Structure 1
């Protein structure tokens, strides 16, 4: 009897392919009767990789073309970095599973001898094109120079190796999944240097009417991760800051409770609004809305409005 072929679509970067292999291995371990084919897709964000992210218009830079393969029937499932997915959803598609998140924080690769942000010299050049990272770096170290930097993880690391930059900021999860953990000079505390909503988590997307694929994907779902990242995305959805606003959200489970922290700032790092809530895990979505109300009461709209107008 022939085995069913499950086609998984993903971006063509080394990281995206590594993440898809991780998902594929878990799927085959749970369902030995299937085999996996990975379909590499070039997205608009990949095509315009020389432009800073904040100059790209619209949304779904890294997901729209991947989702099209599902809608056209060329793929059965898609693997996304959940932080790349817009909060606006297509009813024809669904998130069938949220893969376990182990590393939500940002990390830095840096020149030799640097083990924390404070050890970088005044005037040091730090590479990132993330408005969220730029704002937090400028708030913590206004004396360093932040330079736009895009490209895959290896390209960013090469900017340090070549001497073009003293440090680059990347997601720790990316380094870990690529087997490059030894390149981390230091990691940021995610409760201080807030990550993007759902950073480090993988979303497995299927067509809404494909019940069989949703059943196959159920083995990939991690409920604790889902509680945390869905709370983070609920803050993002309610705040509606636009794709380019310097906004960070981090939720962590502590016993039976959940703690959610969020911030929004101008690109220069100030003004900045930051708030925190804690409550039962089964009220995570309500707490997320409460957090957004606290941010609004503190004046967050004045900070994010200029970014919303760029959409």
Structure 2
């Protein structure tokens, strides 16, 4: 059976350790950031299960008028990651996704093109709608939005509304 699991990472791991769950799925990136790599038993590849939007990417916020900090941050920007995340976030924005809705997205760049996959599902996994698209890296946001529209045309809006109504 699949059950909902809420709380921070420590709380979720405690519930596993206390026998409330036989297994749990957490973001590997989060466990690594917290220094808990030893808790990872298996990494699930995106071909098997798409991750949450922008999973594993680190965002940095700064004061808008702080030019010095901005110059330091600019050195950290990975253009490939930024283009992929732009596509994924556009997908999520068009679907009006939040942390409580079953939306997944994953983009990679291959041979100068973004390949993006998207998914909307029932909370219990009983129905899943998937789509994918590829196009120019210069159109990352447009690709994400177009992919979201494809998912909506397949009925994703109905699934998202059911989630919000629950």
Fold agreement, TM-score > 0.5 = yes
What TM-score does the superposition give when structure 2 sets the normalisation length? 0.88
Deviation, structure 1 residue 309? 5.9
Does the CA contact (< 8 Å) of 1:242 and 1:307 recur in 2?
no
Aligned length: 166
Please show how residues 1-311 of structure 1 align to structure 2 within 5 Å.
Answer: 144-151=1-8, 153-308=9-164
Go from structure 1 to structure 2 and tell me whether the alpha carbon gap of 1:157 and 1:242 turns closer, same or farther (over 3 Å shift).
closer
What TM-score does the superposition give when structure 1 sets the normalisation length? 0.49
**Aligned mates of 1:206, 1:300 — CA distance in 2:** 35
Go from structure 1 to structure 2 and tell me whether the alpha carbon gap of 1:254 and 1:222 turns closer, same or farther (over 3 Å shift).
same
Higher Cα Rg, which structure: 1
**Aligned mates of 1:308, 1:208 — CA distance in 2:** 34
Following superposition, which runs of at least 4 residues in structure 1 exceed 3 angstroms of deviation? Answer: 306-310
Mark the runs of 5 or more structure 2 residues left unpaired by the alignment. none
**RMSD in angstroms over aligned alpha carbons?**
2.0
Deviation, structure 1 residue 203? 0.7
Mark the runs of 5 or more structure 1 residues left unpaired by the alignment. 1-143
Please state which structure has a larger fraction of its residues in strand.
1
**Aligned mates of 1:212, 1:296 — CA distance in 2:** 42
Q: Deviations over 1:250-275 (max 9, x none)?
A: 11112312111111112121332110
